[in-house]
Amino acid sequence: MQIDLRGRVAVVTGAARGIGAATARRLAGSGAAVLVADVDAAGGEATAARIRAEGAGDAAFCRADVEREGDIRGMIAEAAGRWGRLDILVSNAHWEVRGSVEELSADDWDRSYAVLVRAAFLGAKYAIPHLRAAGGGSIVHIASVLGRHATERYATYTSAKAAIPQLTRQMALDYGRDGIRVNTITPGMIDTDPRREAAPDHESEAARLHPLGRTGIPDDIACAICFLVSDFARFITGADLLVDGGMSIPWYSVPVERSRRAAP
């Protein structure tokens, strides 16, 4: 199966490193022109430069702080203005803070929701007219397995990530008639250490939490995103695709070999 995105234009937020950078490279490698958007100018420029140097496709960097509506509106306008259209939006920007509701400040809460939820809403708000003008397109939001399971002292992140699949379903319903598909990717444990970019960890306790016997790497998520925005997923919308190496299968994240030994 060869994914062909030639002639399409994508915006990827949080693309300076990790999942966002891998996604930008994977989309460009499939032929898309990619606007790399991030608040980290050095990292974002490096991602775009790497894409161009590898001859994978056309890429440019746009500094965008997704807490700012004007920056989001500007990045969408830049992509559409530079390449004459917009077909794909991947809302991946990330910010988190740990704490229980007693420990967190109102500013912590507001910033978490601004980056993790409000930015997805605003990205879509400004992208959808361009997607409609192109005859349709695809939006992918990034959630987390922690939006499905609570974990200690993580109130803003887990609740914000839980909101993303429902926002996705609402957008999929509202814009399906325009040929716009909206889906969620829910990653599990993804190792974003650049030293293990192409060599997943098979040895740690974290690796043993996964039935596949390793932790995830950013390209695992990038491949799933690339599929969802392609024509191979043309009848998929409103979906929440879990990409976690099976980590959420065992009860309460019990390491796989331990759960097998304990089975009756």
Span 203-212, pLDDT tens digits: 888 888 899 9
The percentage of the chain sitting over the pLDDT mark of 90, rounded to a whole number, equals 84
With tokens 């229980």, the residue in question is 100
- Could you give all domains of the chain from N- to C-terminal order, each with its CATH number? 9-262 (3.40.50.720)
Q: What's the mean pLDDT in 214-232? A: 97
pLDDT at 246: 94
Q: What's the mean pLDDT in 125-141? A: 98
Task: Give the integer Cα–Cα distance in Å for 60 and 229.
Answer: 20
Q: Which residues are catalytic?
A: 157
pLDDT at 19: 97
pLDDT at 254: 63
Task: Give the integer Cα–Cα distance in Å for 165 and 148.
Answer: 10
Q: Is 254 left (phi over 0), alpha (psi -120 to 50) or beta?
A: beta
Q: Hey, what amino acid is at 245?
A: G
pLDDT at 257: 58
Q: Hey, what amino acid is at 252?
A: Y
Q: What's the mean pLDDT in 92-116? A: 97
DSSP 6: T
Check whether 9 has a pLDDT greater than 70.
yes
Residues 6+ positions from 54 with CB-CB distance below 8 Å: 25, 29
DSSP per-residue codes, 193-248: -GGGSSS---SSTTGGGSTTSS-B-HHHHHHHHHHHTSGGGTT--S-EEEESTTTT
How many C-beta atoms surround the C-beta of residue 37 within 10 A? 34
pLDDT at 193: 81
pLDDT at 20: 98
- Tell me which of 19-28, 43-52, 152-161, 190-199 is least confident: 190-199
Yes or no: say if 19 and 242 are a contact pair by the CB < 8 Å rule.
no
pLDDT-based confidence at residue 264 (cuts at 50, 70, 90): very low
How high does pLDDT run on average in the chain? 93
Task: Give the integer Cα–Cα distance in Å for 34 and 236.
Answer: 22
pLDDT-based confidence at residue 255 (cuts at 50, 70, 90): low
Q: What's the mean pLDDT in 77-105? A: 97
Instruction: Name which of 183, 155, 181, 175 is nearest 241 in CA terms.
Output: 183
Alpha helices in the chain (DSSP H): 18-29, 41-53, 69-83, 106-113, 119-133, 155-175, 218-228, 256-262
